[in-house]
């Protein structure tokens, strides 16, 4: 008998769809540079959160003040686009690296280095992702191999 067809033990909650949402998310994630896009998105978000100036100060500061908010926003958009359109990942990752380096000057040293590093690492991961590569199968050791 198939173990998936057996009833769960009493008292355990099983979602109506079973494990389908987890499997479908994993399948979606494997078809795109997920970690690169996520890190690029988080880097842009972190830099946006470390900005301390109010909008009135930004408008008075001019182009430099607007760039402090515009560059991290472009970083976050590039991270989203890497996730949603992996066919164009090379362009988005190059733009992400350039914008991440631009935040060094405009946005509190790139969000105190954290957002800058997240953006650079995420862009590099997205650039290096290969869509036609075979997925790696991690083999778990069985109990017999460890004994």
pLDDT (tens digit per residue) in 17-56: 567 888 898 888 888 999 999 999 999 999 988 887 566 6
Contacts of 38 by beta carbon, 8 Å cutoff, 6+ apart: 79, 83, 122
Chain-centroid distance of CA 144 in Å reads 38
**What pLDDT sits at residue 73?**
95
Does the pLDDT value for residue 9 go beyond 70?
A: no
Q: Cβ contacts of residue 32 below 8 Å, gap of 6+?
A: 82, 83, 86, 89, 129
Mean pLDDT of the region 74-103:
95
Check residue 13 and give its pLDDT. 56
* Burial grade of 108 (CB within 10 A; 0-12, 13-18, 19 or more): middle
Statement: residue 89 has pLDDT above 70: yes
User: What's the Cα-to-Cα distance from 120 to each of 3, 18, 59, 100, rounded to whole Å?
Assistant: 45, 38, 28, 6
More confident residue, 138 or 109: 109
Ramachandran region, residue 130 (left: φ > 0; alpha: ψ -120 to 50; beta: rest): beta
Look at the pTM and tell me if it is higher than 0.95: no
pLDDT score recorded for residue 115: 92
pLDDT in tens, 110-133: 778 999 999 999 999 999 998 877
């Amino acid at each position: 008998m198939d173990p998936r067809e057996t009833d769960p033990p009493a008292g355990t909650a099983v979602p109506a769809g079973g494990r389908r949402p987890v499997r479908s998310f994993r399948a979606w994630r494997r078809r795109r540079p997920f970690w690169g896009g996520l890190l690029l998105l988080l880097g842009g978000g972190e830099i946006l959160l470390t900005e301390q100036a109010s909008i009135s100060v930004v408008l008075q500061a001019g182009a430099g003040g607007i760039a402090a908010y515009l560059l991290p926003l472009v970083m976050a958009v590039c991270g989203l686009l890497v996730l949603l359109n992996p066919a164009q990942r090379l362009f988005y990752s190059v733009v992400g690296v350039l914008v991440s380096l631009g935040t060094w000057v405009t946005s509190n040293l790139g969000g105190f280095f954290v957002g800058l590093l997240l953006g650079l690492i995420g862009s590099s991961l997205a650039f290096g992702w290969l869509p036609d590569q075979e997925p790696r199968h991690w083999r778990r050791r069985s109990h017999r191999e460890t004994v």
